[in-house]
Amino acid sequence: MEILSSFWNAVVKIAQSSGFATNDWRNYIMVAIACVLFYLAIKKKFEPLLLLPIAFGMLLVNLYPPIMASPKGSEAGGLFYYLYLGVKLGIYPPLIFLGVGAMTDFGPLISNPKSFLLGAAAQLGIFITFVGAALLGFAPKECGSIAIIGGADGPTSIFVTSKLAPKLLGSVAIAAYSYMALVPIIQPPIMKALTTKKERMVQMEQLRPVSKLEKILFPIIVTILISLLLPDAAPLVGMLMLGNLMKESGVADRLSKTAQNELMNIITIFLGTTVGATATGTSFLSPSTIKIIVLGLFAFAFGTAGGVLLGKLMCHATGYKVNPLIGSAGVSAVPMAARVSQKVGQEENPGNFLLMHAMGPNVAGVIGSAVAAGVLLNILA
């Protein structure tokens, strides 16, 4: 009889400590949202490399919240708490930028430096969204975190949000990556609405070849200039340029390969899961998340419009030598946004190849959003 009683007590104890007894109803809604994200990542292939770990982090933290618990006294914290330190301390985003730099070819930008202007114009979305967030009642630091979604750059969004408004990290990261995946759906209607058929059919001259020396000097010059002008952007831009220098110099192939593959993949797993783990039911399911999702869409739309409008201006100023469609690629989201420019351009004129022309504003957008991040951090942090 005593054995039966202790067996019952053990069963009750297990039941009381199980997720069914301890979890809130909001956790189960988050589990459902994680499943939707799994569907988008696996079935629809929307940014699966990031959405999959984000969704799994979200799933795990809502089933077992102590995985994100901070240490108490002699008790150690949860696994994700320690992994999350890389986000909290601003370590992962610059390391992701190291890999991005090692994979990026700045050749199209160097051969057509005017692309920088399109990369700058596409940052318009960030600053218009800042005003929008302020109108919706967010605090200045939160406005900065939400606005940076318009940079269409995941690591930059995470970097800025982790410093300005860490509690919004889950919502901001999910909005940023979801919209980046939806670039082929969001951008074309805006591009078509703001341009005429004649403008979309403009064929651009072939880009000049860029020498190796120019490619090697580029990351060094950009690092010096931006680190001196905007020290807050130095971690992001510096690591981006270090990765690029390792690639272009040709003397550090092993390092470049590691940055592009192993390091990038490891950091992506840590970053994705821990960012997803910040989206707990209590923090994520709030009216502010819906506002962030809506503002994120505005940010992308205005960024695209800014780039296309400046492209239109350049098109007329140069006598139809610039196709305004390449302006939309200024919103970063490398290389998806450049592919969209190519696709929309080719729909009008099958003989038009805009991809390499669009890569210029695309990589300029990465630098532009890092500069905008530096400005936001400088003023708001």
Partner 1 sequence: MDWQLCWTVVITGLVVVFVVLICLTYIIKGYGAIINGIQTRHSKNNRPDVPAPEQKPAAADLVPSASPASDEGIPQEIAAVIAAAAVYCAGPDAVVTHISRAPRQTGSAWRTAGLLENTRPF
Q: In the complex, which residues of this chain contact partner 1 (CB under 8 A)? A: 109-111, 113-114, 116-117, 119-120, 123-124, 126-128, 130-131, 134-135, 137-140, 143-144, 210-211, 213-214, 217-218, 221-222, 225-226, 229-230, 253-254, 364, 367-368, 371-372, 375-376, 379-380
- Calculate ∠ Cα 96-155-324, nearest 5°: 110
Cis status of the peptide bond prior to 335, with omega within 30 of 0: yes
Instruction: Give the residue with the Cβ less far from partner 1, 196 or 318.
Output: 318
Nearer to partner 1, 253 or 347 (CB): 253
- Nearest approach, Cβ of residue 52 and partner 1 (Å): 29
Rounded Cα–Cα distance for residues 27 and 58 (Å): 9
Task: Count the helices and strands in the chain (H runs, E runs).
Answer: 22, 0
Q: Shortest Cβ distance from residue 147 to partner 1 (Å)? A: 8
> CB 214 → partner 1: shortest distance, Å?
5
Cβ-based nearer residue to partner 1, 13 or 321: 321
Burial class (CB in 10 A: 0-12, 13-18, 19+), 77: middle
Find the shortest distance in angstroms from Cβ 79 to partner 1.
34
Residue 358, CA distances (Å) to 97, 256, 331 in order = 20, 25, 11
Residue 149, CA distances (Å) to 12, 23, 118, 239, 275 in order: 47, 31, 18, 20, 15
Residue 304 CB, nearest distance to partner 1 (Å)? 16
Q: HEC states along 225-247? A: HHHHHCHHHHHHHHHHHHHHHHH
CA-to-CA distance for 80 and 170, rounded, in angstroms? 14
Least Å from the CB of residue 225 to partner 1:
7
Contact 334, 142 (CB under 8 A): no
Query: How near is the Cβ of 362 to partner 1 at its closest, in Å?
Result: 14
Nearer to partner 1, 37 or 356 (CB): 356
Q: How far apart are CA 16 and CA 85, in angstroms?
A: 31
- Name which of 125 and 272 has its Cβ closer to partner 1: 125
Radius of gyration of the chain from Cα atoms?
Answer: 23
CB of 336 or CB of 364, closer to partner 1: 364
Q: Which is nearer to partner 1, 83 or 102 (CB)?
A: 102
Minimum Å gap between C-beta 375 and partner 1 is: 5
- Report DSSP letters for 316-380, one per residue: HHTTS-S-GGGGGGGG--TTHHHHHHHHHHHHH-TT---HHHHHHHHHHHHHHHHHHHHHHHHHH
Q: Which is nearer to partner 1, 128 or 242 (CB)?
A: 128
